[in-house]
Structure 1
Amino acid sequence: MADILSSQQITQFIQDGFIRIDNAFSATLAEEARTILWRNMPENPHDPATWTRPVVRLGMFTEGPFVKAANTTLLHQVFDQLVGQGKWLPCMAMGTFPVRFPSPEDPGDAGWHIDVSFAGEDTGDFMEWRANVQSKNRALLMLFLFSDTGEHDAPTRIRKGSHLDVAKLLQPAGEQGLSLREIAASLDALPSKEEVLATGKAGTVYLCHPFLVHAAQPHRGKEPRFLAQPPLLLKKELNIEKPEAPVEKAIHLALAQS
């Protein structure tokens, strides 16, 4: 099959840390998924008076619409291009859904961070989960838009190119890596970056380097925002010494600059 991403898009992923895929899955699948999500909340989709919480977190979803959305032919081809054939595992669960509602309240979870990928010694403390320069377990951070998301609809904020600085931050910590607490405390000292909003129609997917710094934000729009951010898990470890795939090349590039 012909490659989905052009060489220019591959370069963009390596340098910026993300690529936007429009129409990665159908609007029909997105609607079917939203129907399931509404059934799992006390909020009424037709009565904004019931939308009293700024964010509702729902657990793992493995129903058909979610699995189909994560495993379209288009996405599989792009995974091969970004991570390498045979190096990733199909996504069979959509992970936690932070459903955001229009609200003047601070959601309390809008800090800058990266998604960590393996447990520390204290598995009960999520802030002790870790990431290392090899990106143990995680190939990509993925943002699946299950509702139309404009600039006022709490789109995820992305620090463009921040993955390169995070790679340099993680390198001295070796295989043990750093905890989420340690990483979060270090992010303000990293170079400032352009901020990009992950907007798009339902069916849009942002495929991000696992080290990309990102954050939530309050919802100032009118309709609830449905987004999932599952990891693409690794089947084989990344090779950052002799990189072949773009996700590896980005880390290699960052370390060569340090």
Structure 2
Amino acid sequence: MVTNTDADRFVAEGFLKLEEAFPRETGDRIREALWQQVGLSPDRPGDWTQPVVWAAPDPMGRGPFGEAVRGPALAEALDLLAGKGGWEPRGTIGNTPIRFPHPSDAGDTGWHIDQNDPGPGGAWGTVTARSRTLLVLMLFSEVGPDDAPTRIRVGSHLDTARVLEPHGERGLDFFAAAPLIDEASAHRPVALATGLPGDAYVCHPYLVHAAQPHHGTRPRFMSQMPFMLTEPLVPGAATPLARAAGLGLAG
């Protein structure tokens, strides 16, 4: 159960970890299906020749792929943070990078916030203070400190608010925004998105985060997905999501 204390922590830190957001067994089933999809095996590490392999979830959300995003614990958290009726349900999980132990950097480990405005025709490519999304990370394997957990700059959403606000609804190009947001949030402490299959992280759309190389022994399975908001984010409005954005501007 999420509480008002959790909401206050989200406002201050920019993310909230949900343990057992969906059943561990569901995460295990997703992991097994993804192994089959990419044609690799946990028993053949010699075949893990790339640092990251992107898998595509079942677009219809059949079986565990839909079960993971429709659980009551996640819905309760989204209701608390974005307001009841403030977000749109998903049918399946999102982009799914599988990271493997590997000496090479995949070249995708820069600090950034995710694209948060689909724009005309669903082109994406933009980050804006009037975000249409919030970000959820879901874990489908055990993720320890060495297993390429997503890096999170705690409180960085407050810095991002000040970077984006002058650009209004038009926002900034995703790639142009990244170095500005990186510099503005470089002083923040770093947390790691570790946990067990079934855990999830609900992240403010302004939260600065980054991938990292895998230094462990077990491949990391996770999915990163936007949940669409029913209305663009208005900094300073009543929900914790909006209050967090307003706090950044006030600071």
- What does residue 198 of structure 2 align with? 203
Structure 2 residue identity aligned to 1:26? P
Change over 3 Å in CA distance of 1:181–1:35 after alignment to 2: same
Does residue 130 of structure 1 match 2:129? no
* Identity value in percent: 40
Does residue 187 of structure 1 match 2:181? yes
Q: CA deviation at 1:122?
A: 11
Quick one: distance in 1 between partners of 2:26 and 2:3?
Answer: 27
* TM-score, reference length from structure 2: 0.94
- What does residue 66 of structure 2 align with? 67
Residues 1-258 of structure 1 mapped to structure 2, 5 A cutoff: 4-61=1-58, 62-119=61-118, 129-135=125-131, 137-138=132-133, 140-191=134-185, 192-241=187-236, 243-257=237-251
Quick one: distance in 1 between partners of 2:167 and 2:210?
Answer: 24
Structure 1 residue identity aligned to 2:100? F
User: Could you say what secondary structure the match of 1:175 adopts?
Assistant: coil
Conserved 8 A contact 2:159-2:181: no
Q: CA deviation at 1:42?
A: 2.3
Q: CA deviation at 1:119?
A: 4.6
Quick one: distance in 2 between partners of 1:134 and 1:225?
Answer: 32
Conserved 8 A contact 2:100-2:219: yes
Q: Specify every segment of 5 or more residues in structure 2 that has no aligned partner in the other structure, as ranges.
A: none
Q: Report the number of matched residues.
A: 248
Quick one: distance in 2 between partners of 1:6 and 1:240?
Answer: 22
Conserved 8 A contact 2:51-2:213: yes
Conserved 8 A contact 2:182-2:208: no
* TM-score, reference length from structure 1: 0.91
Conserved 8 A contact 1:132-1:174: yes
Q: Deviations over 1:189-242 (max 9, x none)?
A: 21410000000111110111011000000011111110001111112233335x
Change over 3 Å in CA distance of 1:173–1:76 after alignment to 2: same
Q: CA deviation at 1:185?
A: 2.1
Q: CA deviation at 1:51?
A: 0.8
Conserved 8 A contact 2:110-2:210: yes
Quick one: distance in 2 between partners of 1:134 and 1:119?
Answer: 11
User: Could you say what secondary structure the match of 1:149 adopts?
Assistant: coil
User: Could you say what secondary structure the match of 1:70 adopts?
Assistant: coil
